[in-house]
Amino acid sequence: MRTGIAPPPPSFKEANAVIETPDFAPGTVWLVGAGPGDPGLLTLHALNALKAAEIVIYDALVSPAILDLIPPGIPREYAGKRGGKPSPQQADISARLIDLAHAGKRIVRLKGGDPFVFGRGGEEAATLAAAGVRFRVIPGVTAGLAGLAYAGIPATTRDTNPALVLATGHLADDNPGGLDWRVLGASDVPIVLYMGLSTLPAIAEKLLAAGRPPGTPAAIVTNATLPTQQVLVAPLNRIAAETKAAGLKSPALIAIGSIVALRDTLAPWQITL
Ligand SMILES: C[S@@+](CC[C@H](N)C(=O)[O-])C[C@H]1O[C@@H](n2cnc3c(N)ncnc32)[C@H](O)[C@@H]1O
């Protein structure tokens, strides 16, 4: 049995010092998640990586407030990919990372949300591995979950859903290897769609045709977690028309399913932005 006086709990300063940044070796790449936009959602490892990096290669959806955390004098290169606009090829981005690693730099590859959730982080990691470049992954808060949370929509509750589908709306057509919208439409599992704004009319139609009730609650969350965040709620059979009428623009998340209705109770009381 242990006796004696228990040591006092660490002060905030001491506890903070315990969170050590892993060693950032020269010639390595850190694939860092920047989260959905609110800089307060950045992890401590991500923040420390930005302070230790010798160069930052960042994506389109990294918010200006987060780019402001890169120390002055540290070069930053834009490697964003936005649908419909000229953008660097993925192969060029990977080649740049490999060149910088071979030059012995400490490189942060900064990606919106989580690098491994619809962020091509897996592809970049595989290319680095194939080139013999060592890398670390710092997960970020993915927009799908943060957007729901900031809109007052719990991702799961015991009463509503034992599962949640995170999907891309990018492949709305019946592409080989794409999603089977009939299966998703026939189930009642809530869906969170990334990159689905332009394909929303087609997706809603497919889900309805496969059996999702027309009154299924749906929500659009644009600019989630940022001061410009907007939320629109409508039934599935009207969500596409109402989104168009409201002129909502990307980046946007789409939530479809019973969880959206919980917002009615939570949102009036929830403190977010
Ligand atoms: C290429 S995916 C990147 C996803 C990212 N890796 C993540 O984990 O959040 C880009 C899509 O994420 C969603 N997205 C990212 N940031 C967002 C934000 N602040 N508000 C709403 N949607 C966002 C949008 O659907 C956008 O089209």
Catalytic-residue membership of 13: no
Does residue 81 carry a pLDDT above 70? no
**Which atom of ligand 1 lies closest to the CA of 35?**
9
Cβ proximity of 134 and 55 under 8 Å: no
Q: What is the pLDDT of residue 176?
A: 58
Give the distance (Å) from ligand 1 centre to CA of residue 192: 11
| Active-site residue, 264 included | no
Contact 107, 97 (CB under 8 A): yes
Class of domain 18-141: alpha beta
Q: How confident is the model at residue 236 (pLDDT cuts 50, 70, 90)?
A: very high
Task: Judge whether residue 249 has pLDDT over 80.
Answer: yes
Task: Give the DSSP letter of residue 178.
Answer: S
**Mutation test residue for ligand 1: of 42, 118, 145, 200, the one with most atoms within 8 Å of CB:** 118
Question: Does the annotation count 59 as an active-site position?
Answer: yes
Q: How many residues make up the chain in this entry?
A: 273
CB 251 less than 6 A from any atom of ligand 1: yes
- Identify which of 256, 272, 253 has the alpha carbon closest to the alpha carbon of residue 217: 256
Of all protein residues, the one whose alpha carbon is nearest to atom 22 of ligand 1 is: 252
pLDDT tens for 14-29 read 655 567 778 999 999 9
Q: Mean pLDDT across the stretch 147-165?
A: 97
**Residue ranges of the chain assigned to CATH 3.40.1010.10:** 18-141
Task: State in Å: Cα 252 to ligand 1 middle.
Answer: 7
Amino acid identity of residue 3, one-letter, is T
What pLDDT score was predicted for residue 223?
98
Q: What is the structure's pLDDT at 158?
A: 97
Distance, in Å, from the CA atom of 143 to the CA atom of 59, rounded to the nearest integer, reads 14
Catalytic one among 38, 105, 195, 206? Answer: 195
* Ligand 1: centre distance to CA 273 (Å): 18
Please determine, looking at this structure, whether the domain spanning 144-266 carries the CATH number 3.30.950.10: yes
Q: Is 121 in the pocket of ligand 1 (CB under 6 A)?
A: no
Q: What's the CA-to-centroid distance between 4 and ligand 1, angstroms?
A: 53
Beta strands in 63-164 (DSSP E): 76-78, 106-111, 135-138
- Regarding the beta carbon of 35 and ligand 1, being less than 6 Å apart is answered no
Q: Determine whether the shortest distance from the Cβ of 200 to ligand 1 is under 6 A.
A: no
CATH 3.30.950.10 domain extents, the chain: 144-266
Pocket test for ligand 1, best of 32, 61, 137 (most atoms within 8 A of CB): 61
Q: pLDDT higher for 7 or 134?
A: 134
* 3-class secondary structure, 70: coil
Q: What is the distance in A from the centroid of ligand 1 to the CA of 38?
A: 13
